[in-house]
């Protein structure tokens, strides 16, 4: 059986054979289907890219129906249990898990670049005390392009590697500075004796102690959360990274755009929305009334459902367990009881089952972050730290893909036809 699609144009009676590759047809193959010789040809209309593949990628695989997520072929469950964020970052970038010498070298490279230029610190100090940490983060990442002009040499492999290492290493420092700035505390320099996440906790929470010692449970929980958020195929922010990067801009400018896309409440701000929902519910006793309101169209069940997953988000199961581990250290978040009961009811309710609404990664992550001492405004910043490696890997893959060109979607024009200009005094 031939791997082709036979299309009959009922307007002309002509038949076309279109090749099928990897379960897709090329949109450009539809251009040859024309009503007349001077016709532009058919295009696809796909608002929000609901069913359009924009690239080939070897990085992340998702099967939304089965609830499968893999980085470079490794199930997310195995990586969350056995790996570290830095090891997973190496895997995402290089395609293979590192050997012991490779991991040691990789860790050393990242560690050597955790400091930021003092003028970057001064730049951040220029923001008002109440500036949103994510706004500060986005602006500072974009400003990094002025500090590292060699970042524009995007087709030099050594230069690309250097910029990627700089981003992975410096983003936690910038994020921690944004956090300290928002609460009026002095910035804390990196401590490279600590792990990647241990050092981040140090820059966030160190006070007057000579040496900050992170709690190992919180350190590991944060590492797991970073692994779970490291990449997720062609989501909004990753598409932004690829789209901006397709103009051949430096990676700092492209990542600033990706981070800005992440800022939105439908993306990186979704766990904040979950936390606000749980706070508004207030108690387990109010859940039935809330559920009724959702069914009546008077509210939304935040943290449930996903554009890709039509079953239980595999990341949600892992985060749920991490939440229990964190609460053993921090004390139980009173909102957890509401979340658990809300999940139980929703998973047993035909209304939500029929709509394939299952808990996603955002449902429990906000509870963990709050328990660890983060303001809600920091949630998208934490997401951005983790996703940096995914953005960088996707950006590099796009640059090395011969099929890729500058992103330029088509449109369907629905405005006026040609009109003649009318002078001001003659307009009615």
Could you give the CA distance from residue 40 to residue 63 in angstroms, rounded to a whole number? 36
Q: What integer pLDDT is reported at residue 346 of this predicted model?
A: 85
Q: What integer pLDDT is reported at residue 1 of this predicted model?
A: 57
What is the DSSP-derived secondary structure letter of residue 284? G
DSSP assignments along 126-154, one per residue: TS-TT--HHHHHHHHHHHHHHH-GGGG-T
CA distances from 378 to 65, 333, 399 (A): 31, 18, 31
Q: What integer pLDDT is reported at residue 36 of this predicted model?
A: 87
193 is catalytic: no
Q: What integer pLDDT is reported at residue 355 of this predicted model?
A: 87
46 is catalytic: no
Could you give the CA distance from residue 227 to residue 99 in angstroms, rounded to a whole number? 19
Across the chain, what does the average pLDDT equal? 93
Instruction: Please identify which of the residues 223, 231, 313, 362 carries the catalytic annotation.
Output: 362
Q: Structural domain boundaries of the chain? A: 1-53, 58-391
Is CATH 1.10.580.10 the right assignment for the domain spanning 58-391?
yes
Instruction: Please identify which of the residues 267, 325, 349, 401 carries the catalytic annotation.
Output: 267
Give residue for tokens 């532009």. Answer: 40
Q: How confident is the model at residue 282 (pLDDT cuts 50, 70, 90)?
A: very high
Buried b (16+ CB within 10 A) or exposed e, 400-421: eeeebeeeeeeeeeeeeeeeee
Could you give the CA distance from residue 379 to residue 402 in angstroms, rounded to a whole number? 36
**What phi, psi does 175 have (nearest 5°)?**
-60, -45
- pLDDT tens for 243-252 read 999 999 999 9
Q: What is the pTM of this model?
A: 0.91
- pLDDT tens for 235-273 read 999 999 999 999 999 999 999 999 999 998 888 888 888
Cβ(313)–Cβ(357) below 8 Å: no
**What phi, psi does 146 have (nearest 5°)?**
-80, -25
362 is catalytic: yes
């Amino acid at each position: 059986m031939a791997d082709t699609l036979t299309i009959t144009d009922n307007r002309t009676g002509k038949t076309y054979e279109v090749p099928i590759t990897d379960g897709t047809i090329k949109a450009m193959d539809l251009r040859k289907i024309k009503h007349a010789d001077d016709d532009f040809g058919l295009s696809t209309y796909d608002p929000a890219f609901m069913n359009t593949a924009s690239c080939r990628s070897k990085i992340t695989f998702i099967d939304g129906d089965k609830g499968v997520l893999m980085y470079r072929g490794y199930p997310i469950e195995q990586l969350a249990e056995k790996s570290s964020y830095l090891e997973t970052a190496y895997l995402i970038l290089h395609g293979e898990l590192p050997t012991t010498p490779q991991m040691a070298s990789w860790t050393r490279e990242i560690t050597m670049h955790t400091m930021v230029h003092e003028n970057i610190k001064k730049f951040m100090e220029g923001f008002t005390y109440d500036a949103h940490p994510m706004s500060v983060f986005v602006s500072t990442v974009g400003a990094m392009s002025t500090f590292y002009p060699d970042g524009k040499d995007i087709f030099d492999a050594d230069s690309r590697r250097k910029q990627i290492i700089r981003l992975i290493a410096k983003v936690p420092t910038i994020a921690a500075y944004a956090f300290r700035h928002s609460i009026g505390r002095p910035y804390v320099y990196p401590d490279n004796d600590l792990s990647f996440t241990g050092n981040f906790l140090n820059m966030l929470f160190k006070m007057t102690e000579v040496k900050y010692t992170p709690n190992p449970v919180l350190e590991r929980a944060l590492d797991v959360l970073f692994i779970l958020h490291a990449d997720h195929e062609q989501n909004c922010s990753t598409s932004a990274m690829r789209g901006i990067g397709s103009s051949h801009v430096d990676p700092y400018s492209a990542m600033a755009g990706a981070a800005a896309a992440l800022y939105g409440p439908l993306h990186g701000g979704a766990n904040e929305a979950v936390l606000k929902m749980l706070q508004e519910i207030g108690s387990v006793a109010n859940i039935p009334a809330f559920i009724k309101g959702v069914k009546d169209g008077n509210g939304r069940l935040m943290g449930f459902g996903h554009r890709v997953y039509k079953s239980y988000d595999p990341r949600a199961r892992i985060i749920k367990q991490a939440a229990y581990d964190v609460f053993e250290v921090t004390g139980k978040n009173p909102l957890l009881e509401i979340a658990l009961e809300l999940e139980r009811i929703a998973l047993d309710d035909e209304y939500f089952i029929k709509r394939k609404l299952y808990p996603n990664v955002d449902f429990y992550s906000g509870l963990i972050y709050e328990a660890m001492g983060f303001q809600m405004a920091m949630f998208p910043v934490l997401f951005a730290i983790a996703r940096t490696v995914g953005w960088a890997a996707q950006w590099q893959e796009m640059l090395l893909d011969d099929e890729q060109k500058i992103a330029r979607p088509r449109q369907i024009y629905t405005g006026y036809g040609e009109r003649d200009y009318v002078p001001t005094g003659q307009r009615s």
